[in-house]
Structure 1
Amino acid sequence: MTSFRLAPLALAFALALGAGCSTTPADTGPRETAAVELSVDGEITKLDTPSRLFTVRGPDGREVEVHADDSVRNFDQIRVGDVVNLTYLRAVTVDIQPAGSAEPGAYIKQDQDVAKTGEKPRAGASEVVTVLAPIRAIDLANHTVTVEGPRGNVVTLDVVKPEHRARLPQLKVGDMLRIAFTEAAAVEVRPKGR
């Protein structure tokens, strides 16, 4: 049985850093993002309201029983034939920030969304972990950039893509490599046909 509850999504990376600030630095330049987004719809085929259970048939015909715990608002709005949509996103964004534009370190931002009273049930949660690492060295001959992590660890990164190598001469020691890890999930129940 699967539980229909979205707790805050914790990234192991953030725990390893042991850092947490409430604000994230502003965007100031070009960036590159790699992302994977999955979305799947399923139809509710059975409903057990007193037990807060419903069965969802996926696009492949397989069925899964789901328990909606007490955090799921408006369970009484669910009907057989409704469509359950699950969307999941994981992304990494990388860019360079000018020296002095923000404090180096790790920043965590979490958001949650739940249905309002009377709406069909829905829930969503997202977490963005942003790491700002100052550039300590740039090696144009070997196409590498050395950065200092939030715990003082020094890492040398190979710059592989030709378009990124072409931008190496524009970097300065003190600029910051910003890496943002995003993870988000949302579950929504919609009436059939919408």
Structure 2
Amino acid sequence: MKGKTLLTAAAMLVATTATWAQPETRVDVTQSPEGATATGTAKLTATIAKIDAPTRTVWLKSGDGKTKDLVVGPEARNFEQLKVGDTVTIEYREALTMSLKKGSGPLAMHEREISERAAPGAKPGGTVGREVTVTADVVAFDTSARTVTLKGPKGRTVVLLVGDPARLNGIKKGDRVEAVYTEAVAVSVQPAAGR
């Protein structure tokens, strides 16, 4: 599946770049009466130091002067728009939304690809990711420990800490609940100043 390949490549890009430069990271948690969402973001910024067009290799230089070479695959549009001095921003985002709302129907897991490529003629960039929605059974809960144990469609169980104990009100063993997990990598390029 092409989207999974792109997401894997983008995640590897973030992972290898993270070892070369210190990413800016942030974690946000939002709560509503329906559920809670935790979002983590890692952001890296570098400058293009060198480009080898025949091999589609770009050397990125971090703020601390370290360089890293990356091969840009053919699925990335507008490679020819890249110029030495351009700023490249890579942002990796993960989010988990838990909704302890009662549901019905079978246990299920649905995956949806998320992708957006740069328009023809624009600077290279885009977003690739996935969204996974799981309907699971509550197999146990502990109000004093504020945990819920869920069992998904593949038989795996997971114990989740529930920040607000009021979210456990009305939830009992055998109820169906829903969780949504998303991950995405976004890459953008800005022209060098003065161009």
TM value normalised by structure 1: 0.72
Partner of 2:62: 58
Bigger share in helix? 2
Q: Is the 8 A contact 1:144 1:156 kept in 2?
A: no
The alpha-carbon deviation at position 87 of structure 1 amounts to: 0.5
The alpha-carbon deviation at position 139 of structure 1 amounts to: 5.9
Change (3 A) 1:43 1:135: same
Amino acid at match of 2:138: I
The alpha-carbon deviation at position 59 of structure 1 amounts to: 1.8
Q: Is the 8 A contact 1:42 1:83 kept in 2?
A: yes
Deviations 1:97-127 (A, max 9, x none): 2333x64311111111111210111132111
Secondary structure of the corresponding residue to residue 8 of structure 1: helix
Change (3 A) 1:64 1:147: closer
Amino acid at match of 2:65: G
Name which structure has the greater RCO, CA cutoff 8 Å, separation 6+.
1
For the pair 1:133 / 2:132, whether they are aligned, the reply is no
Q: Whose radius of gyration is greater, 1 or 2? A: 1
The runs of 5 or more residues in structure 2 that have no matched partner are: 10-31
For the pair 1:121 / 2:120, whether they are aligned, the reply is no
Change (3 A) 1:176 1:60: farther
Change (3 A) 1:74 1:130: same
Q: Is the 8 A contact 1:130 1:181 kept in 2?
A: yes
- Residues 8-157 of structure 1 mapped to structure 2, 5 A cutoff: 8-9=7-8, 30-100=34-104, 103-136=106-139, 145-152=148-155, 155=157, 157=159
Q: Is the 8 A contact 2:7 2:185 kept in 1?
A: no
Q: Is the 8 A contact 2:123 2:190 kept in 1?
A: yes
Structure 1, 128-137 or 36-45: larger mean CA deviation:
128-137
Q: CA RMSD in A?
A: 2.9
Q: Is the 8 A contact 2:117 2:127 kept in 1?
A: yes
Secondary structure of the corresponding residue to residue 169 of structure 2: helix
Aligned mates of 1:99, 1:87 — CA distance in 2: 34
Secondary structure of the corresponding residue to residue 50 of structure 1: helix
Partner of 2:29: none
Change (3 A) 1:187 1:139: closer
The alpha-carbon deviation at position 58 of structure 1 amounts to: 0.9
The alpha-carbon deviation at position 170 of structure 1 amounts to: 2.3
Q: Is the 8 A contact 2:103 2:178 kept in 1?
A: no
Change (3 A) 1:144 1:54: closer
Partner of 1:188: 188
Amino acid at match of 2:134: V
The runs of 5 or more residues in structure 1 that have no matched partner are: 1-5, 11-27
Change (3 A) 1:180 1:9: farther
Amino acid at match of 2:75: S
